[in-house]
Amino acid sequence: MFHAPVLGYPEAIVLGLLQGLTEFLPVSSTAHMAIAPQLLFGNDPGAAFSAIVQLGPVVAIIIYFRNDLVRYVQGIFRHPNPMKLPKDDIDAKLGWYVVIATLPIILFGVLLQHKIDKDFRSLYVIAGSLIALAGVLFWAEKTGPKNTSLENITFRESFIIGLAQVLALVPGASRSGVTITAGLFQGLDRESAARFSFLLSIPSITAAGLFKIYQVVHKEHLTHNLGLPFLAAIIAGLFAYVVIRWFLGFMKEHSTTAFIIYRIVLGILILGLLSFHIIESKAPLDTASTGRAAIVRIASR
């Protein structure tokens, strides 16, 4: 039987808002969803709640990029051989680049599955990842040439960004954070790095979200209190859509300095909360990092 652990509508609204605000920003939704329930409610909202609320951002990003996705799929069907892509068919190139760049996270996810579910769940790992990636993102901002548009991205550059996405399997690294960082290192301008990061997220977070729902339905009977998680999912989706739109505009004119500072402050805050035993060091198994890893289980079944 489905139970939302001691959560009411105010708590569901807060968690949905938090999921929507952090899912696509380079600040790690995993970190926020791991510590917020402990700090605000004293408990984990549960696997079913986490699975359903994550569907909101999935729907949001698909809706936002719906026209692009249609063009890319049409491009893939126009040119089904990725080894023979015409230089002037940008849609076919980007469609195939997104598909191929997703493969590394599947491969490494299978190899690291045990560590993802067990060893990587520590909030110490999350705090360390927040701070470490902030340093690397700062380096990318300082050294990346930022002179390549998304239309001019090469197969090599897109695949390297896909390899970097593997780091998102470590909670706290942030999927958008590592892919934007890699994009900047590869010379993409900030807006293009963010856009490709979002496009690259669609296959993984969609498959992860659907698989988490499958796992929950397979293990539990969802008959009670579905209003709570679905309310949270709707709120998360609405705010995620706004964040996507805002962030792409933000990256046209601004650097990621604010997010770098925020990551460092959040990482230090988590370490402080842990040292004073205000929060427990073990993150819930069903946080966003496990969700992102779910895609690899689909491939290995």
pLDDT in tens, the chain (301 residues): 444 455 788 999 999 999 999 999 999 998 999 899 888 887 778 777 888 898 999 999 999 999 999 999 999 999 999 999 999 999 999 999 999 999 998 888 778 766 666 667 789 999 999 999 999 999 999 999 999 999 999 999 999 999 999 999 899 999 999 999 999 999 999 999 999 999 999 998 887 778 778 777 777 655 556 788 999 999 999 999 999 999 999 999 999 999 999 999 999 999 999 999 999 887 665 444 444 444 333 333 3
For residue 93, give the nearest of 38, 5, 159 by alpha carbon: 159
What does the alpha-carbon distance between residue 154 and residue 132 come to, in Å, rounded to a whole number? 28
What is the crossing angle of helices 29-40 and 288-300, to 10°?
130
Residue 301: other Cβ atoms inside 10 A: 6
pLDDT tens readout for residues 61-114: 999 999 999 999 999 999 999 999 999 999 999 999 999 999 998 888 778 766
For residue 190, give the nearest of 263, 258, 254 by alpha carbon: 254
Can you say how many angstroms the Cα of residue 167 is from the centroid of all Cα atoms in its chain?
11
Buried-exposed string 254-280: b where 16+ CB fall within 10 A, e elsewhere? ebbeebbebbbebbeebbebbeeeebe
What does the alpha-carbon distance between residue 166 and residue 162 come to, in Å, rounded to a whole number? 7
**Structure letter (DSSP) for residue 42:** S
For residue 256, give the nearest of 169, 126, 137, 148 by alpha carbon: 137
- Residue 62 in tokens: 């698909």
In three-state secondary structure terms, 301 is coil
Those residues whose C-beta lies under 8 Å from the C-beta of residue 130, and which sit 6 or more positions away, are 28, 31, 172, 174, 263, 264, 266, 267, 270
- Under 8 Å between Cβ of 240 and 20: yes
In three-state secondary structure terms, 226 is coil
What does the alpha-carbon distance between residue 54 and residue 208 come to, in Å, rounded to a whole number? 9
Determine the residue type at 14.
V
The residue with tokens 């402990």 is 38
Regarding pTM above 0.85, the answer is: yes
- Residue 24 in tokens: 């696509």
Residue 281: other Cβ atoms inside 10 A: 15
Look at residue 282 in the predicted model and tell me its pLDDT. Answer: 75
- Residue 201 in tokens: 């997220």
